[in-house]
Amino acid sequence: MSSSQFDLVRPATTTKPLTRPGWPEIAAGIGVALALLMLTPLVIVVVPDGDPQLLGLALMCWSVVVPFAGFAAAVLIRIRSWGAFGIRRTTWRWMLAAVGLGIGAFLIKGVVNMAVIAIVGVDANAQVPYYEAADSGMLLLIATVVTISLLVPLGEELLFRGVLMRGLLRYGAVIAVVGSSVVFALFHGVNMALPSALVVGVVAAEVVRRSGSVWPAVVIHVINNLAAPVFVLLGGATAA
């Protein structure tokens, strides 16, 4: 197994089709992530006096643990190449396209959110603890960028696109893209984060399906998860 597989960009070449994850990897990855997600209330309980800064920091760190633990469980099921999970080099064209697609997804999810609010009449932001933490000083703002804007997108792309979406490709593109995106959205809870996650999930999944690499999807996800620190820097710690 070569470390070069972790390289982000290479000149465009033709490669052989890669082996994909199977149901054992999917079950292990999603199962472990779901079990840890269900323990989130315990993370909230252990925060002293419900301190908003500590709560935000704790939830940010837990949001990193959940997807990475799920991905680790999938990888440990049986020995495979990293390429099976979409961890392979891509082209500069795909990386540049990912920037535009990330911005496009951000704009689309904004429109979708407004439509949902208009129909449902609920605009509660489930990610308020992240905004409160990011707005509590430079150190917590940096922590928000590192965790929510960088590590969480990487972990979630490895799990939901690298394991789940690529595993579902055996049933066709529609099932793989839509199915993995729905599961990804549901992991964010039935709240205003769900429609945003669904939009980003569909765009990211389709990019991974077409490019064969998770790296462009990570770029798309990072752009969308930069909302919290950017809004704080702009003095508008409000719902994305």
Say how far apart CA 39 and CA 34 lie, in whole Å. 9
This prediction has a pTM of: 0.86
pLDDT 10s digits, 128-181: 666 666 666 778 788 888 999 999 999 999 999 999 999 999 999 999 999 999
Say what angle helices 52-77 and 23-37 make with each other, to 10 degrees.
Answer: 160
Give mean pLDDT, residues 193-210: 96
Residue 9: DSSP 8-state: B
Tell which phi-psi region holds residue 47, choosing left (phi > 0), alpha (psi between -120 and 50) or beta.
Answer: beta
Q: Has residue 123 got a pLDDT over 70?
A: no
Tell me the domain boundaries of the chain.
18-233
Q: Has residue 42 got a pLDDT over 50?
A: yes
What would you report as the CA-atom Rg of the chain, rounded to the nearest whole angstrom? 18
